[in-house]
Amino acid sequence: MEKLIQITSGRGPLECQWVVAKMLKVFLDEAKDNTINYEIIHREEGDENLTLKSVTILLKSKELNGFLKNWLGSICWIGKSTFRKLHKRSNWFIGIFELEEWEKINFNEKDIRFQTARSQGSGGQNVNKVNTAVRATHIPTGLSVFAQDSRSQLENKKLSISRLKEKVLEQNISMLQKRMQDTWNNHLQVQRGNPVRTFSGTDFKKNHQEKTFKKQRNQFKKELKNYNNDLN
C-alpha cells in the first residue's frame, strides 16, 4: 500500500512553517517505529532557514490506515513563538492531509517501442548509410525521444531509454505538483480546533491524556471523607 501525505502550514504565519519542519521529524520518527518506509517527494522551503511551508511524503507499508488515523487532520503545537518572543499567541496549527487520486506512471522498458532510422548531420561515412539512430516511444504515455549521438545503434538505444525514463519522471513530477496545488488550494486555511494531536514545548513532547484514574480516585476519597464527616 502506498499513500501520499502532505504536511502544510496553510496560510499560517512563519511560526507554523517552523512547526511543519519540526513536525516532519516527529512524523518520520514515528513512521520508522511502525516499520513504514517513506520517501520525501517534494519540499517547499519556508520564508526563514529551518522552516517549511509544506512537505509531501510517499509512505509504503502493508497497513497505513491505522497509523494515519492518528495523524490526518489539524495538528496543534502549544508554545511561544520562536520568532516573536513577545507574541501573545501560544497555539499554532498546521495540517496533515492525504493526497488522493494520484496515480504514478511506472516506467518499464517492456512498454517501450523502438524504431531505427538513419542519423542526420555530420558524423562520418556511416551516418547517413546505416540505421544507427533510435526513436523510443513510451506506449502508456506517448512520450518519445530521439537519439543519434553515437555511431552505435546499441549505444543510441541505451541513451534513448535513459532520456525517456527522465521524461516520464518529469511528467510524474508535473502531475504531482498539480495535485499538490489542488490540495493546497483546498486546505489554505488549516482548520483550528479539535486537533487530532497536540504537542508542546520546543522538544515537541506529546500531550498524552491521563492514562490512570489517580486524580479521580483521590477526588472520590476526598468526597467520601467529607461525606463520613457529615454523617458523624
Q: How do residues 32-58 score in pLDDT, each as one tens digit?
A: 999 999 999 888 899 999 899 989 898
Report d(CA 171, CA 177) in Å as an integer: 10
* Whole-number Å distance between alpha carbons of 208 and 197: 9
Cell numbers linked to 188: 489554505
Predicted confidence at residue 209, as pLDDT, reads 44
- Given a contact cutoff of 8 angstroms between Cβ atoms, the answer to whether 151 and 132 are in contact is yes
**If you ran DSSP here, which 8-state letter would residue 223 be given?**
H
Statement: residue 12 has pLDDT above 50: yes
Tell me the pairing of strands 91-99 and 112-117: unpaired
Task: Report residue 171's pLDDT band, with 50, 70 and 90 as the boundaries.
Answer: confident
Which H/E stretch holds residue 18? helix 14-33
pLDDT at 36: 94
